[in-house]
Amino acid sequence: MTDYLLTLRFDGRNFCGYQIQNTPNGEKRTVGGVLKKALISVFGSVEKLSGCSRTDSGVHATAYRVSFSADKTLPDDTVIRALNANLPDDVAVFECRTVSPDFHARYSVASKKYEYRIYTSPVRDPFKNGLFLHYPQKIDAEMLNASCRDFCGTHDFSSFMASGSKIKDTVRTVYDASFYSPCENEYVFSVTANGFLYNMVRIMVGTLLEIQSGKLPVGCIPSIIEKKDRSFAGFTAPPDGLYLFEVRYDKY
């Protein structure tokens, strides 16, 4: 068996996340589902197929990682060309490499980086629909960037986890968090951590926007973290502007 690691980019607007989902009415359209079909077309069969993260419906990725094993050993460039010939237009393989048998796309992760993209033009832009959150109000990036620093460190992020989530270990380490404007009317929240809880980034964004709007006080994030109660954090921002931006495997 040969073990492979793929890097994908996908537009999540028409996907129900990454994880393959079967329903009584058939299989939902997922990134994992269309990728598995392409892999079978190229390799015949695959084993140990695993994505690096369970992305929600509508979430995008610029560097999503997938590992799998196959009986065939093919050159990296051949794998990329063959898979892209069998994939739909909204997902593409950008990189392929062979890895050691003990590698796992999810469990070998050292850190993940997400970006959440917002645009603030008074008028909505049809070309940004589903790719940015439209927030037609002024944003004080300097103030929010200062608030971002309160996320950094090792904390119990229960307050920033979706209600009803079954995750028991809610401690995560945030290495870096920032809020900045790359160009006029566009803003980015960037956060890197050793792992994320369900909806964690989207709740972080909703909390920052409620600080911006005055619904929550400046400097409230340490108190929200300490309470370990979802009801004290802000709203859950929609998936539109969320991108899995980078996944690092430092050991490998």
Tell me: pLDDT of 252 over 70. no
| Nearest residue to 227 (alpha-carbon basis) of 157, 168, 144 | 157
Instruction: Give CA–CA dist 188/180, Å, rounded.
Output: 5
For residue 167, count other CB atoms closer than 10 A to its CB.
13
What percentage of the chain carries pLDDT values higher than 70? 99
CATH 3.30.470.10 assigned to 111-248? no
pLDDT tens digits, 225-249 = 999 999 999 999 999 999 999 999 9
Fold of 2-98: Alpha-Beta Plaits (3.30.70)
111-248: same fold as 2-98? Answer: yes
Number of CB atoms found within 10 A of residue 108's CB = 20
Among left, alpha and beta (phi > 0; psi -120 to 50; other), residue 132 is beta
**Choice between 4 and 21, residue whose per-residue pLDDT is larger:** 4
At 219 the pLDDT is 93
Q: Is 175 helix (H, G, I), strand (E, B) or coil?
A: strand
In this structure, the chain runs to a length of 252
Q: What confidence tens digit (pLDDT) does each residue in 48-94 have?
A: 999 999 888 999 999 999 999 999 999 999 999 999 999 999 999 99
Predicted pLDDT at 152? 97
**Domain extent listing, the chain:** 2-98, 111-248
Mean pLDDT for the chain overall = 94
What percent of the chain clears pLDDT 90, i.e. is strictly above it? 90
- Predicted confidence (pLDDT) per residue in 181-226, tens digit: 999 999 999 999 999 999 999 999 999 999 999 999 999 999 999 9
Give the per-residue pLDDT at 251. Answer: 64
pLDDT tens per residue across span 92-124: 999 999 999 999 999 999 999 999 999 999 999
Q: How much is the pTM?
A: 0.93
Three-state DSSP class for 121? coil
Q: What are the structure tokens assigned to 200, written together?
A: 């964690």
Question: Per residue in 131-187, pLDDT tens?
Answer: 999 999 999 999 999 999 999 999 999 999 998 888 889 999 999 999 999 999 999
pLDDT at 130 over 80: yes
The rounded distance, in Å, linking the Cα atoms of 146 and 164 is 30
Give the residue from 116, 202, 131 showing the smallest Cα distance to 165. 202
Q: Which residues are catalytic?
A: 56
pLDDT at 244: 97
